[in-house]
């Protein structure tokens, strides 16, 4: 009998925000798989450090690229497709051997998570269960003390990789917004928020729930770029309440 694939959300960074179900599964599975940047431990693996059962085998998958080239570069698409394919093959080999595998993913697996690409390749062929995790944006707005939406507010979630005109158009009609994938797009995002008349409500959160956390009004942020674990929050709740 083949093993079960558990795709596990590890939450935004604070290990205390991992669900009880995720902790229980991690303590018992014989194989743990995770993604990491070259030379790094891997964020999801770091969160799971105290939860993995003694003697568990580990499958470490190192990204060929992270921010070195653009996502729209054909070379990126080819390399990442090959990477996810080979990673899925390694997980499949463990499953075929009868081992359950816990595939770790920071935040929630189905929300911009790399684990989705292995889930797409494996879930139809093997028993599969997904354990949701606290999304990064939830951790960030909780740490920032920013109630985001109420009543009939609409929350827009935008990748900062959109072009400036698209960002402005989407932000102009937004009651509240979360802007992810900030990085080198910070100045573009800042301009878009200015043009959408939302800059005064925008809050920058870096490494939310983690060591080195930083929370400041975007207007007070002087750096031109941001690290990977950062996002910008624009709270709604502007109507009567």
pLDDT at 75: 81
Per DSSP, the chain holds a count of helices (H) and strands (E) of 7, 10
Distance CA 32, CA 74 (A): 31
Q: Return the pLDDT at 39.
A: 86
Span 4-60, pLDDT tens digits: 999 999 999 999 999 999 999 999 999 999 999 988 899 999 999 999 999 999 999
Torsion sign across C-alpha atoms 155, 156, 159, 165: negative
Helix (H) or strand (E) holding 52: none
- β-sheet bridge partners, residue 232: 179, 204
- Please give the angle made by the CA atoms of 22, 99 and 83, to the nearest 5 degrees: 80
Total residues found in the chain within this entry:
241
Tens digit of pLDDT for each residue in 134-160? 999 999 999 999 999 999 999 999 999
Pick the more confident residue, 69 or 201: 201
- In angstroms, the Cα distances linking 115 to 1, 48, 98, 232 are 23, 15, 21, 24
CATH class of the 4-134 domain in this structure: alpha beta
pLDDT tier for residue 66 given thresholds of 50, 70 and 90: low
Q: Which of 99, 12, 106, 17 is nearest to 59 (CA)?
A: 99
pTM of the model: 0.91
pLDDT of 68: 58
Write the pLDDT tens digit of every residue in 210-233: 999 999 999 999 988 899 899 999
Angstrom CA distances, 83 to 35, 60, 105, stand at 11, 12, 16
Q: Please report the pLDDT score of residue 97 as a whole number.
A: 98
CB distance 11 to 107 below 8 Å: yes
The per-residue pLDDT for range 117-134, each reduced to its tens digit, is 999 999 999 999 999 999
H-assigned helices in 66-185: 74-96, 115-122, 136-144, 164-172
Region of 171 (left: φ > 0; alpha: ψ -120 to 50; beta: rest) is: alpha
Q: What is the CATH number of domain 137-234?
A: 3.30.950.10
**E-only strand ranges, the chain:** 4-9, 31-36, 57-62, 101-105, 127-131, 155-159, 176-180, 203-206, 214-217, 230-234
> Within 13 A of 136's CA, how many CA atoms are on the CB side?
28
In whole angstroms, give the CA distance from residue 127 to residue 219.
49
What is the rounded CA–CA span in Å between residue 231 and residue 107? 13
pLDDT of res. 70? 60
What is the pLDDT at residue 158?
98
Domain ranges of the chain: 4-134, 137-234
Return the residue matching tokens 């009939």: 152
What does the pLDDT read at residue 129?
Answer: 98
- Residue 237's pLDDT is 82
């Amino acid at each position: 009998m083949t093993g079960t694939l558990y795709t596990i959300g590890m939450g935004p960074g604070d290990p205390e925000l991992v669900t009880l179900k995720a902790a229980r599964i991690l303590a018992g599975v014989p194989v743990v798989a995770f993604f990491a940047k070259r030379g790094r431990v891997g964020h999801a693996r770091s969160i799971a450090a105290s939860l993995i059962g003694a003697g568990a085998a580990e499958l470490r998958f190192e990204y060929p690229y992270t921010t070195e080239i653009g996502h729209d570069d054909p070379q990126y698409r080819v390399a990442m497709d090959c990477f996810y394919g080979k990673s899925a093959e390694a997980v499949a080999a463990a499953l075929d051997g009868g081992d359950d595998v816990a595939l770790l993913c920071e935040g929630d697996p189905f929300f911009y998570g790399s684990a989705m690409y292995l889930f797409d390749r494996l879930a139809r062929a093997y028993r599969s269960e997904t354990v949701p995790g606290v999304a990064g944006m939830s951790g960030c707005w909780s740490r920032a003390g920013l109630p985001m939406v109420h009543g009939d507010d609409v929350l827009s979630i935008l990748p900062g990789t959109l072009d400036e005109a698209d960002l402005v158009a989407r932000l102009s009609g937004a009651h509240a917004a979360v802007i992810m994938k900030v990085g080198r797009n910070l100045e573009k995002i800042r301009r878009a928020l200015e043009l959408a008349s939302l800059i005064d409500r925008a809050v920058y959160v870096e490494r939310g729930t983690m060591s080195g956390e930083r929370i400041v009004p975007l207007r007070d942020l002087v750096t031109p770029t941001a690290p990977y674990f950062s996002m910008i929050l624009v709270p709604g709740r502007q109507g009567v309440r």
